[in-house]
Structures are given as structure tokens and as C-alpha cells.
Amino acid sequence: MFESAELGHRIDKETFRAEVPKLREALLDAQFDLREQGKFPVVILVSGVDGAGKGETINVLCEWMDPRFLSTRAFSAPSDEERERPAMWRFWRTLPPKGRIGIFSGSWYSDPIAGRIAGDLTKGSLDQRLDEINRFEAMLANEGALVLKFWFHLSRDGQKRRLDALEKDPRTAWRVTRESRARLKTYGKLQEAARHVLRVTNTPWAPWIVVEGTDDRYRSLTVGKVILDALQKRLADTRDQNYPVAPPIAPKGDSLDVLTALNLSLRLDRKMYETQLARWQGRLASLARHPKFGGRSLILAFEGFDAAGKGGGIRRVTAALDARQYQVVPVAAPTEEERAQPYLWRFWRHVPRNGRVAIFDRTWYGRVLVERVEGLCSEADWLRAYAEINDFEHELAGNGAILVKFWLHISDEEQLKRFRERENVAFKRFKITGEDWRNREKRGAYHAAVCDMVDRTSTGEAPWTLVEADDKCHARVKILRTICERLERALASDNPKKKRD
């Protein structure tokens, strides 16, 4: 969920100065059209970590847009009027009407998250609240509202640094209260709660937009651009509004993302590789034979660009396993039988029993990768797929499966080199087709799809591992090590069946 927001996004002063005037003008135009159309309201939620710039961002938005048609609502302790009514009453009171924008600072999420951190809410009660929230937001979307939910994120160090910086400056020191400091201590708890809340409420009709809060300029520009983009898309949308799916939203303020942030120059020399490979394969072999593994199962998901080395990676894994214990599932285009079923059906078929390993060579993520990029399914289909996939993996994990998901990443140049090599080596020629070359041309679109996928489906129970795969040796060892570490951690937990989230 927070992968993209821990990369240290920054925007320099010049870029910022150059971009802001255009953005402001476009925002004012869009706001004018919104008012003129008068067809839908815009609900903007601003939530997140303390010190990540929630307040500043709201101030910036108010400065950039026409404040006459923009209202900001801040919610703290409820008034006596509010306490004597259902919890949602205060929010209903302040919903923006059609044609207007309402910014909510502190929203229907604040209470449930705070309650969970304080331990007042059980997981079950939290989920009940979240279900109510999902139904409420679905109602808003069905009624036509454009719902934008921002989560401002800071890494643990980032939060500490922000608070220190704020405190040093006499103009902002007042912002840092004793409570802010106290919250540093509950950082881990907040992250855990937030990860769960964001996963469950990341609906197709009101998805979260996670923004890194470290750099003021990046944060403001990103939020402004996302709002503008969503507004413009929605204003231009002439579809039946009984079709509540939010426009695809990717915060993009600079060229930094989870993929570009990878260090593809990582290498492992041949000798080291042999030693490490033997070591981790041995470890995996004994873990897979551990008595406790009899109560769990292991699901490995391999995704990556063509020629990224999925096959080679998988072979190094299976070499450590008993052939009766694992199944490799190569995923190609669905069969006729599979096309007659919901798209997840063909993966459910291969869910392993306890004590077994299922290795997917390409996976259920095809829907948000190839099917999205190639237009093989509608936008609504792949947008709802993120939540459906998370639900699927939640069920697997809830039943004790250990899910390890790999994205094998190679550079454009390395891919080209490997393609050429394949064409020139007889026994590798079968591996390369015209389609592979065509896919290369769409690299940009695939790149964006992968970033969205990682952001929306890397969950606490099934995180993505991004593998730098320009060097095969490094990649294979990282794959094996990751599997072993995840297995070890899972088997070390007392309760063989993982508790339901």
C-alpha cells in the first residue's frame, strides 16, 4: 500500500514554480465547469500520518481554488449536538451539494483508526465499521459524488525528521504538540491499522490515493494534479452515472516510482552465487519438510517482463522441493472452459492443499497487467480487480497459505540483449515470438500498470517483492532467500493457522 510513498519523492523549486500557475488555472477552470454543470459534488478526504502535511495541503488547495465554492470541514471531538445523534450525522450535515467541493480534514475514518490503535475496537468491530463506511461511500458514488480519498504517508524516519524540522522553525513549532510526539511511538500500530483499513476500503468507486508527505512541493503538486485529473475525467464523462467507478488515479509528480527506484546494477559473482544458491536451496528443502508446514501451504506468484528470468527462477526453487509436493502452473490465455467462468476461477482450481506448494508462472495479476494494457477487459473490470484480488489473497492467507509474490524487473537494454540472444541460440529460439517484440513497445503502459499493481495489492498478508533481475544470479538468490524468510517467519508463529485479519 505504501511502497510508492516511501521513495523520497521531491520536486525542486524551479519545476514547482513553473508548474503551479498552469495547474491553478486549470483547477479554476475545472471548478468553474463543475459549478456550471451542477451535476455532482466532490468529496475530498484528507487523512494520514501526523506531520505529513495534511493541514498545509488543505491551505494550499484553498489558495489555489475558488474558496467561494469550496468548503473545508475539520472534525475533532463531537459537539453535544453531534454526540446525541448517530456517528455519521455530523458528516451528512456537511456534505457538499452538487457543483461544490468539500474537503474533509478528519473524516469517517478517523474514529475507527484511532479506536483500533487505542485498542478500543476489536478487529471484528473495526470491520463492521469499515463495511458501513463502504456502504456509505457506495451510496455517495451511486448518488453521483466524486470521492477522492488521500492518505498522506511518511516512513517512520520521515515522520521523526518532519517533526524535528517543524519544531526547529519558530513559525511552525506550535504545530508540534505533545500528542504528535506521542504518536511517533504508536507509528507501527498506526501503520498496521492503516494498511488494513486502506485495503478493505480501497473500493473501485472510492479508491485511496497514497501520497508521500516528506516534500512540501511534491505533496502539493501531486494532490493538485490528482484532483485536476479526476475532475477533468469526470466532467468529460457522459456515461450513465449508474456506473459508479472512479477514474484511474495515479499520483505522479516526478519520475520516481517503485520500479525506477530499483538498483538494477546489483550483481552477484558466480562463486558467491554457487555458495548462496546451495545455502538457500538447502534451507528451503528443510523448511518444506518441516512438520509445521503440514498445516500450511505455500503459493508463489511470479510476474515480470518477458525474458526477466521467471522460468530460471522457478527452476531454482523447484530444485529444492520434492516433486510430489509442488505444482508449477503456467498461466497463458484462458481456455474455453475458463473463459466461461469468473476470471479468478482458473486460479482457484490450483489452490494447493496443506503441505503443498503451488508455483504460478504468471498469475491472477494478468487482469491488471496484460488485460489492462491490451484492452482485453473494460476499465471497470480491471479497476474492481484490485479489490477482488486482495479479497482472494485474504481468503488464501486466512486459511493458512503463505503467499510470496515476485515482480522480476529488468531494464529495457537488458531485455533487448536477451531477446537478441534468444533469437541467436537455437534451443532458446522457441522462447521468443512476435508478441514479445510487440509487448516491448508498450513498456511505458506496462510500467505504469506494475506501479499501480504494487501500490494497490501489496498488503501485510501478501506483500510484493520486487526483484532486481538484470543479473540472474542476484535475482535467483533473492527469490530463494525471500521464500525462506517468509516461510521461517510463518512457521515460527505459534499458531499454525494464521488468524483471520
Could you tell me if 42 and 96 are in contact, meaning their C-beta atoms sit under 8 angstroms apart?
A: yes
Query: Based on CB atoms, which residue is closest to a second copy, 310 or 367?
Result: 367
* Phi/psi of residue 62, nearest 5 degrees: -65, -30
Would you tell me which residues interact with a second copy (CB under 8 A)? Answer: 38, 41, 81, 84-89, 92-93, 95, 97-99, 122-125, 127-128, 131-132, 135-136, 139-140, 142-143, 145, 240, 242-243, 245, 297, 337, 339-345, 348-349, 351-354, 378, 380-381, 384, 387-388, 391, 395-396, 398-399, 401, 500
Query: Based on CB atoms, which residue is closest to a second copy, 123 or 443?
Result: 123
CB of 340: closest distance to a second copy in angstroms?
3
CB of 98: closest distance to a second copy in angstroms?
4
CA atoms of 2 and 496, how far apart (whole Å): 28
Query: Based on CB atoms, which residue is closest to a second copy, 17 or 135?
Result: 135
CB of 102: closest distance to a second copy in angstroms?
11
CB of 315: closest distance to a second copy in angstroms?
27
Ranges of beta strands (E only) in 173-260 are 208-212
Please state, as a whole number, how many other Cβ atoms lie within 10 Å of the Cβ of residue 353: 7
Query: Based on CB atoms, which residue is closest to a second copy, 83 or 438?
Result: 83
CA atoms of 218 and 254, how far apart (whole Å): 8
Task: State the SS3 of 50-90.
Answer: CCCCHHHHHHHHHHHCCHHHEEEEECCCCCHHHHCCCCCHH
Query: Based on CB atoms, which residue is closest to a second copy, 139 or 272?
Result: 139
CB of 89: closest distance to a second copy in angstroms?
6
Burial 102-112 (b: 16+ CB within 10 A, else e): bbbbbbbbebb
Which residue in 190, 114, 102, 178 sits closest to 152, CA to CA? Answer: 190
Query: Based on CB atoms, which residue is closest to a second copy, 100 or 183?
Result: 100
Crossing angle (nearest 10°) for helices 443-457 and 434-441: 80
Query: Based on CB atoms, which residue is closest to a second copy, 89 or 273?
Result: 89
CB of 241: closest distance to a second copy in angstroms?
9
CB of 106: closest distance to a second copy in angstroms?
19
- 3-state secondary structure at position 303: strand
Burial 284-312 (b: 16+ CB within 10 A, else e): beebbeeeebeebbbbbbbbbbbbbbbee
